[in-house]
Structure 1
Amino acid sequence: MATTLIKNAELAVAWDTSEKAHTYAPDTDIAFTDGTLTFVGRGYEGTADTVIDGRGLMVMPGLVNIHSHPSSEPLNKGFLDEIGSPGLYNSSLYEYMPIFRADADAVPSCVRVALSELLLSGVTTLADLSMAHPGWLDLLAEAGMRVCIAPMFRSARWFTKNGHVVEYEWDEKAGEKAMEEALRLVERAEQHESGRLFGMVVPAQIDTCAAGLLKESNQEAKKRGLSWQIHAAQSVVEFHEITRRHGMTPIGWLDSMGLLGERSIIGHGIFLDDHPSTPWHTKDDLNRLAETGTTVAHCPTVFARRGIAMKDIGRYIRRGVNMGIGTDTYPHNMLDEMRLAAHIARTQAGDPRTMTTTDLFNAATIGGAKALGRDDIGRLAVGCKADFSLVDITHPMIRPAYDPLRSLIYAAGDRALKAVFVDGNKVVEDGEVLTMDYRQAAAHLNEAQKRIASGVPQRDWAHRSAEKIAPPTFHWS
């Protein structure tokens, strides 16, 4: 029951309980015991076993990332930066991502690389949407991060034989079995000795899940008090597929089955009935999301690579939609993702006032916490988890420091993070992850990528090489 005190922090992004909002609090003491914050304010008079000098530091609540794929995405670096299927509205989901998928030997290194990058950018809570893999729970616990394990399951797989038509191979019984296995894995996670793992129910994609699986999984989530997340409104192909099958938009179909709600999360939620790429005869989708209290997990980087963008996060927030931020793809850098979210919103709206940094930081903290059903993360308040970052506000890229959070997000990024704590334990110090060997994992992944690349022609419908699909920036002489 040792107590640690951060004495006289130059600044804290503290939680104002009366206002229910973050606030800048200068000259603040922060104490925590056994992983829980016990004091946030001025003039701490209690005892402390360890004292951290807060001069020159800003204490910031840990960032909450509600949508990520650590077991696969790090391997795609260099492959998927510039490609999207022209016959499939520039999505990379159907033609390219399956052929670059990590094999079993590469998965642990993928996870270690992704989680290391997330920790280095101030993420203390993560939703890991992955297919189940051996040793998953222990690997997540190794990172020292707080993780919502989200094993995906589905009734069908998608594929293309020609690069312009998506087909589906259905096996509904296999989907039901996979859901049962996912629920057992969630139960194991919640009993894990680390005490930092919890669960979520995740039917993988709206177009690969039968209606029965969607309804049953949502009922299970409600019964167990868990959040429920699905990829939906993430591609033009999917939008057309759902309207063809059901005569409703993806969001409309989910709403018709009663699947939207305060613990429901829509992964991406871009292609609504009023998006310029998917105009529909209704104009109800955004209101449906707002009125049901549904959260949208916004991950701009993976779409910006394809020339695709949400129209826009500021519009969703003003309409009353709860927004969270995720890092769907590499780099797994939450601060970079936040900066891009702001810039994409402003360019799409043609208006620098469409969203504020307040909106953005709320999405990355309390918005994500709300989606996960947690009121003990994403804020610095007594009784909350001791999950936070120490930011060096004397760093040259922070200064001049008229508004330190803006300087962090729009200029300094992770370079100004001095340390990261989860459950009161230091997991990052001076740019180094203390719980995982980031460099070794990256080296292993580098070799694994060569192996994956060599097998691309066997997995590609047109038997193209990796170099043909993703030509290098320059010719190798």
Structure 2
Amino acid sequence: MTTTVIRNAAYIIAWDAEADSHTLLQGQDIAFDETGILQVGGRYDGPADEEIDGSDRMVSPGLVDIHSHPSSEAMNKGMLDELGSPGLRMSSLYEFMPLFRPDGQGTPFAVKTAYSELALSGVTTLVDLSVAYPEWLSLAEASGLRVVIAPMYRSARWYTDTGHSVDYEWAEDDGRGAMQVAMDTIDAATAHPCDRLTAMVAPSQIDTCSEALIKDSYAEAEKRGIKMQIHAAQSMVEFNEITTRHGMTPIQWLDSLGVLTDRTIIGHGIFLNDLHPWPAWPDGADFEMLKASGAAVAHCPTVFQRRGVTMHTFGKYIRNGVPMGIGTDTYPHNMLEEIRHALINSRITSKNVYDLRTTDAFDAATVGGAKILGRDDIGKLAVGCKADLFMADIRHPAMRPLRDPLASLIYVAAERAVTDTFVDGAGLVRGGELKTFDLDAALDGLEDAQRRAEVEFQQLDFRDRTHDQAAPINYAPAKEPS
């Protein structure tokens, strides 16, 4: 065992069990080893293998990311920043995302990039929603992160050949082959010798999965004693599709299937008929049904704000007792930015600066996400919890002038101030340097994958556009003089 002590930390966001809340300690120690956290606060007088001067550091519990797509989203940088389909309520899901994906060669580079971004921004646990690929478990183990393997599968793929309507191509086997691969992957993750790997059942999207596939997925989650996550209420296209097919909203339909329970995590959960102004569906009360169900919601504000969409509102969900976590559904995989965007968007949408407080969002990104995953040993700094934490430099210019360290970190400094990230007491980031992957090499490989995807773009696009016609480069290079 290697015992590490952070001495005289300027600030420690510690857990107060009596108050059931984070609290702020100043000028005290925190000690940990591979087995977990040994002491929080006071002066640690036990044996230590490494001592870190914490006098200019804030020590925080590691962030818990409950919704991410590392195998694909990192490659979309520079492509999907300003793309949406006007005929599909500005969503980019149906027209553009299927056209710009990493190939099999590029997938590991996307994953290494995303895992690296997560560690560098203080994330210690993530739910990785990816389609199963050969290198997955080995990369998750090598990342040093605590990874919930959530292999996605579905009954149908979506596509558009008009830009204003979406069609579905249903698999002859209802997606059962892909589901079996997912279950095999889940079982392999559960049996893996690395105890940082766990699993989750993940039928992809409510509109791409048949009733039978969703019910059977939930049954598999129940059998294994694990959670199920499904994308639902994430777009108006999906909302309209489900009401057209079933005469009920996405939330109502999940409830009618018997899967809207505390075992279920709803990816996004934005378009509720009685909260969001767009659906205007007269029958039912989605929010009341969601509140009563115990189902959790994974909120990922950044990807939606790019399309002009916000939840109505994150603060209201929290005040009404809906279990809320935060995720990184897009690039960058930066939870500190997601927390900031959750706060700002909630205030803009509610027109009320008090709609959501910084502590509410930070709780959702730590103990809130942990509770949704069924864990009480992560997301907080307390004796006996996992030694999952990060440190931020309070002397970083973006943190100063310093009055409220958490506010400075979330609203201004973000990952720039993060110096060290530990999982199970092992340093994934030390002194700002990533210790797990060669990020530059991963980015080189990812850029090569982008170039290959650019070539494929026109062949896949129903409008026969080139990638730079669909997403023009800002201030295109000047033409050479003739």
TM-score by length of 2: 0.97
Q: Does 1:416 align with 2:414?
A: no
Q: Which stretch has the larger CA shift, 392-401 or 461-470?
A: 392-401
Report how far residue 399 of structure 1 moved.
Answer: 2.0
2:230 counterpart SS class:
strand
Q: Does 1:206 align with 2:209?
A: no
Q: Which stretch has the larger CA shift, 106-115 or 7-16?
A: 7-16
Aligned to 1:187: 187
1:91 counterpart SS class:
coil
Q: Does 1:5 align with 2:37?
A: no
- Find the aligned partners of 1:307 and 1:52 in 2 and give their Cα distance: 44
Aligned to 2:134: 134
Aligned to 1:453: 454
2:10 counterpart SS class:
strand
Q: Does 1:347 align with 2:344?
A: no
Q: Which stretch has the larger CA shift, 333-342 or 25-34?
A: 25-34
Q: Which stretch has the larger CA shift, 400-409 or 145-154?
A: 400-409
User: For residues 32-83 of structure 1, what are the alpha-carbon distances to aligned partners after superposition, in whole Å with 9 as ceiling and x for unaligned?
Assistant: 1224112112122322222222211111000000101110111111111111
Q: 1:172 to 1:39 in 2, by over 3 A?
A: farther
Aligned to 2:176: 176
Preserved CA contact (<8 Å) 2:252 2:284: no
Within-5 A mapping of 1:270-281: 270-274=270-274, 275-281=276-282
Q: Which stretch has the larger CA shift, 174-183 or 236-245?
A: 174-183
Preserved CA contact (<8 Å) 2:174 2:213: no
1:473 counterpart SS class:
coil
Aligned to 2:51: 51
User: For residues 364-419 of structure 1, what are the alpha-carbon distances to aligned partners after superposition, in whole Å with 9 as ceiling and x for unaligned?
Assistant: 01111111111111010111110000111122221222211011000111111111
Report how far residue 283 of structure 1 moved.
Answer: 5.2
- Find the aligned partners of 2:238 and 2:476 in 1 and give their Cα distance: 36
Aligned to 1:305: 306
2:419 counterpart SS class:
strand
Preserved CA contact (<8 Å) 1:264 1:371: no
Preserved CA contact (<8 Å) 1:56 1:393: yes
- Find the aligned partners of 2:43 and 2:29 in 1 and give their Cα distance: 7
Preserved CA contact (<8 Å) 1:8 1:29: yes
- Find the aligned partners of 2:28 and 2:176 in 1 and give their Cα distance: 52
Aligned to 1:284: 285
Aligned to 1:324: 325
1:215 counterpart SS class:
helix
Task: Say how many residue pairs are matched.
Answer: 477
Preserved CA contact (<8 Å) 2:124 2:145: yes
Aligned to 2:162: 162
Counterpart of 1:140 in structure 2: which amino acid? Answer: A
Report how far residue 172 of structure 1 moved.
Answer: 5.7
2:90 counterpart SS class:
coil
Counterpart of 1:134 in structure 2: which amino acid? Answer: P
Please, which runs of 5 or more residues in structure 2 have no aligned partner?
none
Q: Does 1:471 align with 2:472?
A: yes
1:397 counterpart SS class:
helix
- Find the aligned partners of 2:173 and 2:38 in 1 and give their Cα distance: 49
Aligned to 2:34: 34
Aligned to 2:244: 244
User: For residues 239-262 of structure 1, what are the alpha-carbon distances to aligned partners after superposition, in whole Å with 9 as ceiling and x for unaligned?
Assistant: 000011111110111112221222
- Find the aligned partners of 1:189 and 1:234 in 2 and give their Cα distance: 28
2:377 counterpart SS class:
coil
Report how far residue 465 of structure 1 moved.
Answer: 0.6
Counterpart of 1:49 in structure 2: which amino acid? Answer: D
- Find the aligned partners of 1:54 and 1:132 in 2 and give their Cα distance: 41
Q: 1:27 to 1:283 in 2, by over 3 A?
A: farther
Preserved CA contact (<8 Å) 2:396 2:417: yes
- Find the aligned partners of 1:261 and 1:372 in 2 and give their Cα distance: 14
Aligned to 2:444: 443
- Find the aligned partners of 1:33 and 1:427 in 2 and give their Cα distance: 14
Q: Does 1:88 align with 2:93?
A: no
Aligned to 2:106: 106
- Find the aligned partners of 1:15 and 1:126 in 2 and give their Cα distance: 21
Q: Which stretch has the larger CA shift, 219-228 or 241-250?
A: 219-228
Report how far residue 190 of structure 1 moved.
Answer: 2.0
- Find the aligned partners of 1:447 and 1:43 in 2 and give their Cα distance: 51
Preserved CA contact (<8 Å) 1:172 1:210: no
Counterpart of 2:332 in structure 1: which amino acid? Answer: P
Q: Which stretch has the larger CA shift, 260-269 or 235-244?
A: 260-269
User: For residues 287-311 of structure 1, what are the alpha-carbon distances to aligned partners after superposition, in whole Å with 9 as ceiling and x for unaligned?
Assistant: 2222222111111111111111111
Preserved CA contact (<8 Å) 1:35 1:425: no
Aligned to 1:430: 431
Aligned to 2:121: 121
Report how far residue 222 of structure 1 moved.
Answer: 1.6
- Find the aligned partners of 1:128 and 1:116 in 2 and give their Cα distance: 13
1:248 counterpart SS class:
coil
Q: Which stretch has the larger CA shift, 310-319 or 393-402?
A: 393-402
- Find the aligned partners of 1:468 and 1:349 in 2 and give their Cα distance: 37
2:399 counterpart SS class:
coil
Give the aligned CA root-mean-square deviation in angstroms: 1.2
Please, which runs of 5 or more residues in structure 1 have no aligned partner?
none
Counterpart of 2:217 in structure 1: which amino acid? Answer: S
Report how far residue 174 of structure 1 moved.
Answer: 4.7
- Find the aligned partners of 1:343 and 1:283 in 2 and give their Cα distance: 29
Q: Does 1:222 align with 2:229?
A: no
Counterpart of 2:277 in structure 1: which amino acid? Answer: P
1:14 counterpart SS class:
strand
Aligned to 2:295: 294
Q: Does 1:361 align with 2:362?
A: yes
User: For residues 136-166 of structure 1, what are the alpha-carbon distances to aligned partners after superposition, in whole Å with 9 as ceiling and x for unaligned?
Assistant: 1001111111100100011111111111111
Report how far residue 191 of structure 1 moved.
Answer: 2.3
1:452 counterpart SS class:
helix
User: For residues 84-109 of structure 1, what are the alpha-carbon distances to aligned partners after superposition, in whole Å with 9 as ceiling and x for unaligned?
Assistant: 11111111111100010111111011
- Find the aligned partners of 2:120 and 2:6 in 1 and give their Cα distance: 20
Within-5 A mapping of 1:255-274: 255-274=255-274
1:331 counterpart SS class:
coil
User: For residues 183-222 of structure 1, what are the alpha-carbon distances to aligned partners after superposition, in whole Å with 9 as ceiling and x for unaligned?
Assistant: 2111111222332110000000000111111111111112
- Find the aligned partners of 1:128 and 1:233 in 2 and give their Cα distance: 20
- Find the aligned partners of 1:405 and 1:172 in 2 and give their Cα distance: 52
Preserved CA contact (<8 Å) 2:150 2:199: yes
